[in-house]
Amino acid sequence: MGGVAFTGGRETIYRANLHLRTASRIIARVAEFGARGFPELVRQAKRQPWERYLVAERPVQLRVTCRKSRLYHSGAVAERVLESIEKRLGVEGIVAVQRVQDDDATGQLVIVRMAHDRCLLSVDTSGELLHRRGYREATAKAPIRETLAAALLLAADWRTDAPLLDPFCGSGTIAIEGALLARRIAPGLHRRFAFMEWPDFDAGLWRRVHADAAQAALPHVPSPILASDRDAGAIAAATANAARAGVAGDITFEQRALSAIEPPAEPGWVCTNPPYGVRVSERAALRNLYAQFGKVMRAKCAGWTVAMYSADARLEKATRLSFRPLLNTTNGGIPVRAVACGPIEMRKKD
């Protein structure tokens, strides 16, 4: 997974967590220095203002990676950094949990990267990963991460004053992210972040940043958002999720098969995440479904732009739509790419 670096102070950290729709987490760089041996590592790590970010009474989670460095043993590096933090905070026996995976850290996470004998020390500012907006409790089969749903809408250049349709909506993530985007509702408005637990948390500044975001929200979406799925349970889950996200009134959810969709006359964007299917036995049925998808798009969505996540080039081809790649990523561990085509031309014969 890639990263993007930018500079700023506290307010930037608060705003980034609150507003970024596609980031997984925001980590703040504490220090960068050369360290060829443990004495240098400890001397530098001890000098950092850990008291701003860490509460001594709570466990610290450490995620350490070492690449092409003399200090190559991540366990030993973690131990020294923890010792340095304890010295700086003037406490002993901080409970440490070593972390390797970037799954959901909810505690205080310190990230240590050794590369080419340089050490990068960072603290996590987000806590739970940012795709957890707080609205999705009910999920249907194979839900897509909220951040990926937002990424599809942004990469496809959906104009928020044009209609949006997801005919395989599942638990409604793409439609809900669309409504949040169109109403300029900050994705993090209803959740907490790790920086709120920091000793240097500025509650007044946060209240101002939060209030600015709340005021910027529009009362309604400017154009229809339609979401359908053939599965009744999916529609029930999607409706409940949209209500929790505060956008129930902005989306029309309907239980409908793909073949029965009724797009608005004004062209817009179809943004969707069709079933992938991993088992071989599902492939033939999926090929038919993708072929049908292409057919329905040509028959009912002339003038529309179509964007989707795809895990299989053969299935993409089965649609007979001329897709261009938008971005590559993974969804639930499966490599997927977002593709788009359009505006769609109507074919007389299919």
Ligand X SMILES: C[S@@+](CC[C@H](N)C(=O)[O-])C[C@H]1O[C@@H](n2cnc3c(N)ncnc32)[C@H](O)[C@@H]1O
The site for ligand X (CB under 6 A) is made up of 140-144, 167-168, 170-171, 173-174, 229-231, 234, 257-258, 273-275, 289
- Min dist. Cβ of residue 34 to ligand X (A): 45
Nearer residue to ligand X within complex by CB, 144 or 251: 144
- Min dist. Cβ of residue 330 to ligand X (A): 14
Q: CA–CA separation, 301 vs 315, rounded Å?
A: 20
Nearer residue to ligand X within complex by CB, 82 or 174: 174
Nearer residue to ligand X within complex by CB, 127 or 172: 172
Nearer residue to ligand X within complex by CB, 194 or 235: 235
Nearer residue to ligand X within complex by CB, 69 or 171: 171
Nearer residue to ligand X within complex by CB, 219 or 335: 335
- Min dist. Cβ of residue 272 to ligand X (A): 7
Q: What are phi and psi of 298, to 5 degrees?
A: -65, -35
- Min dist. Cβ of residue 169 to ligand X (A): 6
Nearer residue to ligand X within complex by CB, 274 or 294: 274
Cβ proximity of 169 and 234 under 8 Å:
yes
- Min dist. Cβ of residue 172 to ligand X (A): 7
Give the start-end residues of each E strand in 68-188. 96-99, 108-115, 118-124, 164-166
Which structure tokens are listed for 61? Answer: 């989670």
Q: How many CB atoms lie within 10 A of CB 341?
A: 19
Which structure tokens are listed for 211? Answer: 């209030």
Place of tokens 């901080």: 94
- Min dist. Cβ of residue 92 to ligand X (A): 46
Q: CA–CA separation, 341 vs 230, rounded Å?
A: 24
Give the three-class secondary structure for 151. helix
Q: Angle between the 232-245 and 173-182 helix axes, to the nearest 10 degrees? A: 30
- Min dist. Cβ of residue 97 to ligand X (A): 31
Amino acid identity, residue 252? T
Amino acid identity, residue 268? G
Beta strands at 334-341 and 305-310: parallel, antiparallel or unpaired: antiparallel
DSSP state of 68: S
Q: Which residue number has the CB closest to ligand X?
A: 170
